[in-house]
């Protein structure tokens, strides 16, 4: 089994597993309710050569990628998409946002 890394992002408790693809780094994140720990969503964060900052993202460690996922989940900007995906039983695929240098 791959290493799981637990983290908190806003109201969510999360478990991340490194999940690289042939075209770039990735994480599979299980997003749980922070209160009762029910599974809410599964989210895949991904890098792709067509995304801005790809080269920078490819040099990052797992911990750095988790920090990016944590920032995106904790920002609240994904809450609506998370709720829609949950209602439809879907897995979201979200691109990593490279930090602004």
38-79, pLDDT tens digit by residue? 899 999 999 989 888 899 999 999 999 999 999 999 999 999
Rounded mean pLDDT of 19-45? 91
* Residue-wise DSSP of 14-59: EEEEE--BTTB-EEEEEEEETTT--EEEEEEEE--TTSTTHHHHHT
pLDDT of 1 over the 50 cut: no
For the ranges 9-18, 40-49, 73-82, 90-99, the lowest mean pLDDT is seen at: 90-99
User: From the CA atom positions of the chain, what is the Rg in Å?
Assistant: 13
Domain residue extents for the chain: 4-95
How much is the mean pLDDT over the chain? 90
pLDDT of 98 over the 80 cut: no
């Amino acid at each position: 089994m791959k290493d799981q890394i637990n983290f908190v992002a806003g109201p969510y408790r999360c478990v991340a597993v490194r999940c690289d693809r042939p075209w770039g780094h990735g994480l599979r994140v299980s997003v749980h309710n922070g209160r009762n720990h029910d599974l809410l969503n599964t989210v895949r964060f991904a890098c792709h050569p067509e995304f801005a900052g790809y080269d920078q993202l490819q040099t990052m460690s797992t911990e750095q990628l988790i920090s990016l996922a944590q920032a995106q989940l904790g920002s609240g900007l994904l809450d609506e998409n998370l709720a829609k995906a949950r209602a439809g039983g879907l897995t979201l695929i979200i691109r990593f946002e490279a930090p602004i240098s």
